[in-house]
Amino acid sequence: MSAVWRASRAAVKRRRLQTVVIGLVVFCSTATVLLALGLLDAVSNPFDRAFEKQRGAHQVVLFDAAKVSAGQLAETAGRPGVAAAAGPFDQATARLEKSPPGVGSGAFRVVGRADPAGPVDRPELRDGRWATATGEIVLNEDGDLVRPELLGSKVQLVDGPELTVVGVYSSMSSSADAWVTPEQMAALHPTARQMLYRFDAAGSAEQLESGLASATAGLPAEARTAARSSASLEEAFSGTAKAYLPFMTVFGVLALLVSVLIVANVVSGAVVSGFRHIGVLKALGFTPNQVVGVYLTMVSLPAVIGAVLGTVLGAALAQPVLRVAFQGVMRGTAVVEVSPWVYLVCLLGLPALVAVAALLPALRAHRLSAAQAISAGSAPRSGRGLRVQRALGGTRLPRAVSLGLGQPFARPARTALTVAAILLGVTTVTLTTGLTSTMVQYADSGKRDGGASLDIRVGRAAFEQTEPKLTDRQMEALLRSLPGVERVSAQAISQVKLAGYQQSSAGFFLRGDQDPGDIRQIVEGRPATGAGELVASPTFLSQHGLAVGDRVTLELEGRRTTATVVGKSIDGDARFFFSTWATLLELEPSAGAAYYDVRLKPGADVQAYVDAVRAAEPGLYPGVVDDGNLAADTVVSFASVFTVLLTVVAALGVFNTVLLNTRERRRDLGMLKSIGMTPRQVTVMFVTSMAVLGLLAGLVGIPLGMVAHRVLVDNVGSVDFPAVMKDVWHLPELSLLALAGVVIAVLGAYVPARSAARLTIAKVLHTE
Amino acid sequence: MTTDHDSDRQVVVQLDGVHKEYGDLKALDGVSLEIRAGEAVAVMGPSGCGKSTLLNMVAGLDRPSAGTVRVNGHDLGGLNETGLALFRRRQVGMIFQFFNLLDDLPALDNVALAAQLTGTPAKQARHRALELFEELGIADRRNTYPAALSGGERQRVAVARALMNRPALLLADEPTGALDSRSGEQVMDLLIDLNQIGQTLLIVTHDPKLAHRCASRLVEFADGRVARESALERQL
């Protein structure tokens, strides 16, 4: 056994507690870092991975078959900037007469393709096979679940043939709702041609636009009827996650910073406190390199164990956390998981960080002579620290307190790292409590007043459901008449075009009782109440260049009406707007409700109401609605997890600092106790030394956390928080937060302080 | 060993059948000893014979495995840690071989600290400390940090600290062990002066010269027991 290994092993054994602390800090830090990096990676990457695997289309472009020939389109494949192209494929937009449950209603994009291969957009097989004959159809399905019942089921097109489902594929390009053979397509009388392009440069929206312009240059004007870029697909993919991506990023960065600081503090402190030992090793004949080797081995051992265990814990936490984060997100074939590089960074990066943190002070010791190292290990501090101690000695404070207040000045570098760690801890706690408060209010704003909420859909034969016998108004009257009901509103959804915009939007038209919750959802203006009024989300308004007060023209099957934007909601989908029934009647006089939103009285029997509805009208399909807010729940959960992890890490950092101080000051402690310092005074002295840092960190960390909170909530693109949700700070909360740093510091300091108080004086003074 | 004259004086230290074991090692093996007010007792013996352990027991720095230790009427066995701290604060002063001064406080503050722990205001504590510095001839070194003091000066600062709260008993553990001969002489003179004004002393030492100059009684230790006690004539 080499001398270095023997000395390292002895040092690890002799400093068991410190070894455990280093291991624990690295363990918690690794888990935190893995979670943080894993989240950041998972939010941005799964779409790209799956998209590239399928050679997804950067642009899916639709042309009017009457205005451009297949030959002209085929030539666009060779245009500058086009890396690959597929098509032209004929496309028909069909309406479904009958389809299996869960297969889309309304407009249904059917594309004629001979096979799923090709240079662009290779849909991935999920079940069955590709269509090879007329009468066969292949569905494009998202989601995790494979539904074997789809194979063999029938799809009946309005005024068209009945087709048999022979396969289910998934296209990350979302190039169609279904595919048939080119021969079958001819029978569907296609009016459009589809081209799929991949470009040399597709890193930004501008590049996607210029690629499209280059590919379609020279084609007849107005031949292009629609185009969808991969950017909008990605937006749709991670739209839900993006609502809280800024929060995740900040949590991740904070977690990284706190972890790095604490690890650096703990490890460098361990080496600095070992200077005397280093001097002894040198005196024994260890070469400077051997000394550095001893110390690197000593800290690397617990660091490697901590990193491995931390990676295991982080991996175990990451999967359920990612599941929560991506709940309800359209995923296609994308697999949401932590990339291998994240594990690699954690397994190698944290021990490397520990090695670097140990190396710096070890190299300093490397340069010192044995005598210098020994004296540095027990050296009196000089300069400012002494002056501060002296000044404090003259104050009226109890001496144990003034001694404690002076301690941090003895080791300014260690103090600075400790303060930084607590400061970041306090900033995190402030930020997370603020976010939690904002998100709880945000979640509450989405909740409706009263008891349970029911979503009652009107049955449609196209979905193989029973059609109702009662009329729209009769159904509403029925729902109002049943026991337990408090409010009823009817809703219709129609694809409405806004004049001047290519894409149509989904208009939600409401009739009946307005829920007071709707008013809470309005961040600017007011809810829509009269004819020609609409309300939309911040993203809808920004994407359409609209603001509250603007007027737009709505078009539906040849009818037009004007509407004024009277309100902006807190959040919502960029494709939806909300208006009144009176507005819908202008566009579609015979419109009927697609579903009814029923709110029961608090305490009403939900099941009894549902049974009553089913018995009275079998054509109504009631379902209980969960008012929960996924984004809010996710942020609150993450905030809690990160707060706990970072508080533990910060407290461990403080614990370690006090431990080192205690070890370095054993002789002083023995002396102080020998002249009558009580155990309580010793505890007070050490706890004070950290509490003052906690207070300082609190005073700086709170404003920092408040600023971070404001910056974050102001930059969530999909949510526009009203002032009341952003002004979450009040005196009681701030007072409690001011104590947060002190609490973290005291939590970390108390145990080693108590242990210092119990030191056996005779032993200490004897060993010194 | 006490004289008739001595027996009139109050017993300051009383050890009765004191045992102390560290695992298998017997540091003290049934030690019984009395020290009366105004006495200067020197304890001598080879290394590891239990001298320092005895001192620790009397100072309340360690607890006996068996037996009783009473100092100035206080049964130390009946005191908890806080009680022992308060006892040390008021009843005993300690001088160590290696001084044990706080490196980050100037000399005067090191001494004043002992009084401040009792709740004495800083100004008053410093005033009292300065009086002691003047008595000990180190007033001009009051603002100097320990690292810049000579060994003799450090030990005088340590003596001043030990006397700060007017203890009933002054304990010295090899007080001249780390000093050169001249500084050692100065410290010995100081201890003699203190004893002559009535300060009770218990000195643990290897140095026969220190024992014979400062002590009125010699207790010799061997294997954790009192091997012999004898009265001493001070050699001035």
Domains by residue range for chain B, with CATH = 4-231 (3.40.50.300)
Give the separation between CA A649 and CA A23, rounded to whole angstroms: 11
Question: What percent of chain A stands above pLDDT 90?
Answer: 4
Whether A394 and chain B come into contact, CB under 8 Å, resolves to: yes
Q: Which of A661, A674, A767 is most worth mutating to test chain B (most B CB atoms within 10 A of its CB)?
A: A674
Q: Which residue of A has its CA nearest to B116?
A: A399
- B189 touching A (Cβ < 8 Å): no
C-beta atoms surrounding A548 within 10 Å:
17
- Sort out which chain B residues have CB atoms less than 8 A from A762's CB and list them: 52-53, 56, 61-62
CATH number at residue A539: 2.40.40.20
* Per-residue model confidence as pLDDT tens digits over A69-86: 888 888 888 888 888 888
Determine the residue of chain A that is closest to B56 in CA distance: A762
The reply to whether A707 falls in a domain is yes
Of A380, A398, A670, the CB nearest to B103: A380
- Beta pairing partners, B71: B13, B74
Nearest CA in chain B to A673: B85
| Average pLDDT rounded to a whole number, residues A678-694 | 86
Look at residue A199 in the predicted model and tell me its pLDDT.
87
A563, A593, A627 - which closes a domain: A627
**Any residues with CB less than 8 A from the CB of A478 and at least 6 apart, and which?**
A470, A613, A616, A617
Which residues in chain A have Cβ-Cβ distances shorter than 8 Å to B69?
none
| Chain A nearest CA to B148, separation (Å) | 11
Query: B233 to chain A, minimum CA–CA distance in Å?
Result: 31
Pairing of strands A162-170, A136-140: parallel
Residue pLDDT, tens place only, A398-418: 888 888 888 888 778 778 877
Q: Which residues of A touch B90 (CB under 8 A)?
A: 676
- Closest in A379, A380, A675 to B88, CB measured: A675
pLDDT tens readout for residues A692-725: 888 888 888 889 888 988 888 887 666 777 777 8
Average pLDDT over residues A6-28: 80
Band (A44; pLDDT cuts 50, 70, 90): low
**Residue whose C-alpha is closest to residue A693's, from A451, A426, A448, A463:** A426
HSE on the CB side for A470, CA within 13 Å? 18
Query: What was the pLDDT predicted at A330?
Result: 47
**Residue A431 belongs to some domain of the structure:** yes
Least Cα separation, residue A669 to chain B (angstroms):
9
Taking CB atoms and an 8 Å cutoff, what residues of chain B touch A666?
none
Q: Are residues A137 and A7 in the same domain?
A: no
Higher pLDDT residue, A60 or A502?
A60
pLDDT band for A397, please (50, 70, 90 cuts). Answer: confident
Do residues A641 and A759 both lie within one domain? yes
Q: Residues of B with CB below 8 A from A396's CB?
A: 121-122
Do A50 and A87 belong to one domain?
no
A351 shares its domain with A397: no
Contact A461, A453 (CB under 8 A): no
Rounded Cα distance between A757 and A618, Å, is 77
A272: containing domain: 1-56+249-373
Predicted pLDDT of residue A379: 46
Task: Tell me which chain B residues have a C-beta less than 8 angstroms from the C-beta of A380.
Answer: 103-104, 145-147
Residue ending a domain, among A329, A347, A373, is A373
Nearest CA in chain A to B57: A762
The angle subtended at Cα B49 by Cα B47 and Cα B53, nearest 5°, is 100
| A669 → chain B, closest CA residue | B102
Q: Are A95 and A165 in contact (CB under 8 A)?
A: no
Please provide the distance, in angstroms rounded to a whole number, between the alpha carbons at the two ends of chain B. Answer: 22
Q: Do B113 and A393 touch (CB under 8 A)?
A: yes
Check B161 against A675: CB less than 8 A apart. yes
Q: Which of B59, B82, B90 sits opposite A680 (nearest CB)?
A: B82
Does residue A646 sit within a domain? yes
Nearest to A728 by CA among A439, A437, A430, A428: A437
Q: Which chain B residues are closer than 8 Å to A415 by Cβ?
A: none
For residue A141, what are the contacts with CB-CB under 8 A and spacing of at least 6?
A126, A147, A150, A168, A169, A170
pLDDT at A478: 92
Nearest to A667 among B94, B100, B162 (CB): B100
Same domain? A535 vs A438: no
The residues with which A494 forms a beta bridge, in sequence order, are: A507
B contact residues 142-181, partner A, Cβ 8 Å cutoff: 145-147, 161-162, 165
Give domain status of residue A230, yes or no.
no
At A105 the pLDDT is 46
Looking at chain B, which residue has its C-alpha nearest residue A665? B102
Nearest CA in chain B to A679: B82
Strand bridging mode B74-75 / A453-458: unpaired
Contact A768 B103 (CB under 8 A): no
Gap between the Cα atoms of A664 and A537, Å rounded: 61
Give me the residues paired with residue A299 across strands: none
Which amino acid appears at position A562 of this protein? T
CB contact under 8 A, B61 and A395: no
Whether B89 sits inside 8 A of A758 (CB atoms) is no
Which of A373, A401, A422 is the last residue in one of the domains?
A373
pLDDT: which is higher, A501 or A342: A342
Q: Chain B neighbours among A 652-681 (CB < 8 Å)?
A: 667-668, 670-681
Tokens of A147: 């539904």
Q: Mutating which of B100, B173, B204 best tests the A interface, going by the most A Cβ atoms within 10 A?
A: B100
Is A385 in Cβ contact with B117 (below 8 Å)? no
CA distance A86 to A74: 8
List CB contacts (< 8 A) between B109 and chain A: 389-390, 393
Note which residues in 404-433 of chain A have CB less than 8 A from chain B: 406, 410
pLDDT of residue A328: 46
Per the structure, the count of domains in chain A is 4
A761 touches chain B (CB under 8 A): yes
Whether residue B158 contacts residue B141, with contact meaning beta carbons closer than 8 Å, is answered with no
Confirm or reject contact between A252 and chain B (CB < 8 A).
Answer: no
Residue A521 corresponds to which tokens in the numbers above? 């959802």
**pLDDT tens-place string over residues A550-580:** 898 888 877 888 899 998 887 776 778 899 9
Say yes or no: A34 and A127 in one domain.
no
Establish if A387 touches chain B: CB-CB under 8 angstroms.
Answer: no
The closest CB to that of A399, out of B100, B106, B117, belongs to B117
What is the C-alpha to C-alpha distance for residues A122 and A532, in angstroms, rounded to an integer? 45
Strands A107-112 and A178-180, bridge-based pairing: parallel
Q: What residues of B are in contact with residue A757 (Cβ under 8 Å)? A: 81
Query: Has residue A227 been placed in a domain?
Result: no
By the CB < 8 Å criterion, does A383 face chain B?
no
Same domain membership, residue A508 and residue A554: yes
- This complex has an ipTM of 0.73
Within an 8 Å CB–CB cutoff, is residue A375 touching chain B? no
Looking at chain B, which runs of residues are DSSP E strands? 11-22, 25-36, 40-44, 66-71, 74-75, 92-95, 169-173, 200-204, 217-222, 225-231
Mean pLDDT of chain A: 78
pLDDT of residue A106: 47
Confidence category of residue A18, pLDDT binned at 50, 70, 90? confident
Same domain, A350 and A460: no
Q: Are residues A356 and A402 in the same domain?
A: no
Q: Looking at residue A566, what is its pLDDT?
A: 92
Instruction: Evaluate if residue A1 carries a pLDDT over 70.
Output: no
Q: Is B59 on the interface with A (CB under 8 A)?
A: yes
Q: How far apart are CA A141 and CA A124, in angstroms?
A: 10
CA–CA separation, A765 and B62 (whole Å): 11
Question: Does the beta-carbon distance from A668 to B81 stay under 8 Å?
Answer: no
**Tens of pLDDT, residues A351-373:** 888 888 888 877 777 776 666 66
One domain for residues A421 and A510: no
Spell out which residues of chain A touch residue B162, defining contact as CB-CB under 8 Å: 675
Q: For chain B, say whether A760 makes contact (Cβ under 8 Å).
A: yes
Give the C-alpha separation, A140 to A133, whole Å: 18
| A210 in a structural domain | yes
Q: Are B214 and B43 in contact (CB under 8 A)?
A: no
User: Nearest-CA neighbor of A698 among A650, A751, A640?
Assistant: A650
| Per-window interface: B 93-122 vs A, CB < 8 A | 93-94, 96, 98, 100-106, 109, 112-114, 116-119, 121-122
Q: B25 touching A, CB under 8 A? A: no
Question: Does B56 reach chain A within 8 Å, measured CB to CB?
Answer: yes
Q: Residue A99: what pLDDT? A: 63
Q: Provide mean pLDDT across the span A608-623.
A: 85
pLDDT of B204 reads 92
Has residue A96 been placed in a domain?
yes
Please state, in angstroms and rounded to a whole number, the distance separating the CA atoms of residues A172 and A232. Answer: 12
Contacts of A393 in chain B (CB under 8 A): 105, 109, 112-113, 116, 122
Question: Cα–Cα distances in Å, from B135 out to B163, B167, B194?
Answer: 11, 17, 11
Tell me which chain B residues have a C-beta less than 8 angstroms from the C-beta of A395. Answer: 122
Which one is predicted more confidently, B172 or A265?
B172
Confidence of residue A496 (pLDDT cuts 50, 70, 90): confident
Q: Which of A23, A634, A656, A40 is closest to A313 using CA atoms?
A: A23
Q: Are residues A82 and A205 in the same domain?
A: yes
Residue A630 has pLDDT above 80, yes or no: no
pLDDT of residue A533: 92
- Nearest-Cα residue of chain B relative to residue A671: B100
- Does residue A423 lie in a domain region? yes
Which residue among A667, A680, A760 places its CB closest to the CB of B62? A760
| Average pLDDT of adjacent 10-residue blocks, chain B of 236 residues | 61 94 89 94 90 89 91 90 85 85 82 84 89 89 87 88 90 84 82 89 90 92 92 70
In terms of domains, do A400 and A323 share one? no
